[in-house]
Copies of this chain bind each other. A is one copy, B any other.
C-alpha cells in the first residue's frame, strides 16, 4: 500500500514504539506483545496492533512480535536505517550540548555542519566540527545536500534563518526557538520547547 496515506498521528507514534523496542533489544528481550509494549509506553495494545497492521503482518496471533524484526522494520519505515547529516544553527550552550549528544549518532543522525552569526563563536571547534559563519549557510548546506536542520537561535531571528534554510533545500527543521515558524507545505517542522511542557504540567499542580 502507499505509505503516504498513513495518518500523521500514526506516524507520530512509530518513533515511540521504536524507542521502546530498541530499549528491549538492549536488555536482551527478543519477543514482545502489543500488551507488553503498550504497558511500557502507555498506549493501548489495540492501538499498537492497529498502527502496526497498516504496514502488514508483523506478529503471529498469540506468538507475539519478534523485537529485532520489528526494530528493523520500523527503522525502514521511518527511514532511519541510514545516516542523516544535519546542520545545526546556533552554537550557544544548547547548540553545544546538541553537538556533543551521543544519542543522535546512535540513532543515525549526525551533526555535520554548525553555524553561528557571532564572530566570537565562528572558528570554534565543537566535537570536531568547526563553527562556520551563517553567511556561508545557504551555499554550504546546498553543497552538502543536507535536508535536516536544528535551530537553537534566538526567537527573533528564527524565521529569517528558517527562510534561508528553505532556500538552501532543507526539508525538515527541529526548532528549539520558542516561536511558531511559517514554512511551505513540503517542509516539516517539529518543536522542542520546555516551557510549553512545563506549563502543561503546572496546571495540575497545587
Most buried by B among A79, A109, A194: A194
In angstroms, Cα B192 to Cα A96, docked, is 17
Contact B78 A203 (CB under 8 A): yes
Counted per complex, copies of this chain come to 2
Contact A203 B96 (CB under 8 A): no
Number of chain A residues close to chain B: CB under 8 A: 57
Return the chain B residue nearest A11 by Cβ.
Answer: B203
Residues of B within 8 A of A15 (CB): 195-197, 199-200
Contact B205 A23 (CB under 8 A): no
In angstroms, Cα B41 to Cα A180, docked, is 6
In angstroms, Cα B37 to Cα A180, docked, is 11
Contact B174 A198 (CB under 8 A): yes
CB of A193 closer than 8 Å to a CB of B: yes
Cβ-defined partner of A97 (8 Å) among B94, B178, B191, B195: B94
